[in-house]
Structure 1
Amino acid sequence: MPRPSGSYSTSDLSRKSGDIIAEALRHPVTITQRNKPRLVLLNIDDYERLMRQSDARSVGTLETMPRELLDELEAAVDTYAETDEVSR
């Protein structure tokens, strides 16, 4: 059965770890167990980039929000505030 490039079994990992690690330095490699994806090997730069992107302290803050989205948010808040004042 042909295997997609960048995908290896756990048995392959035992036998060809050096080659697989060398490939993982170039691009992410999937390790399968019983024909199901179980692990991904990737280089440290890609890992650190993913971790920075998932950092809740920097993702989705007002400072990182696109200007158009911030404008929409401000307009929605203003509309809500106006509606709330009329209701009182």
Structure 2
Amino acid sequence: MSGSNSTFTTSDFSRKSGDIIAEALRRPVTITQRNKPRLVILNIEDYERMRRQADTRMVGTLETMPDALLDEMSEAIEAYADDNEGGRS
């Protein structure tokens, strides 16, 4: 997303929605209500770029982890422990 984003109030949006939409096609626009940011309007290309770059990691537990990944992690932990034990005097 290029440039800084512009800020308008909800009253501005009611009166000048066409102008604000035109601005949002160029850069993100923040809409405030009672001096607090409430909405951001941005063009579809910026939105899709944000979605593609979003962190898709998921939270889980050892119980929900696939067996193959759990085995791989266990082997890595054991190898790390073996390396640390060998380096101690």
Question: One fold, TM greater than 0.5?
Answer: yes
Distance 2:27 2:13 in 1: 16
- Aligned match of 1:24: 24
Question: Alignment RMSD, CA only?
Answer: 2.7
Which residues of structure 2 form unaligned runs of 5+? 58-75
| 1:56 Cα deviation after fit | 1.1
- TM-score, normalised on structure 1? 0.61
Distance 1:18 1:43 in 2: 14
Name which one, 1 or 2, has greater alpha-carbon Rg: 2
Q: How many pairs does the alignment contain?
A: 64
Which residues of structure 1 form unaligned runs of 5+? 58-75
- Aligned match of 2:65: none
Percent identical: 69
Distance 2:78 2:26 in 1: 49
Distance 1:77 1:42 in 2: 44
Aligned to 2:56, the other structure's residue is in SS state coil
Matching of residue 56 in structure 1 with residue 62 in structure 2: no
- Aligned match of 1:10: 10
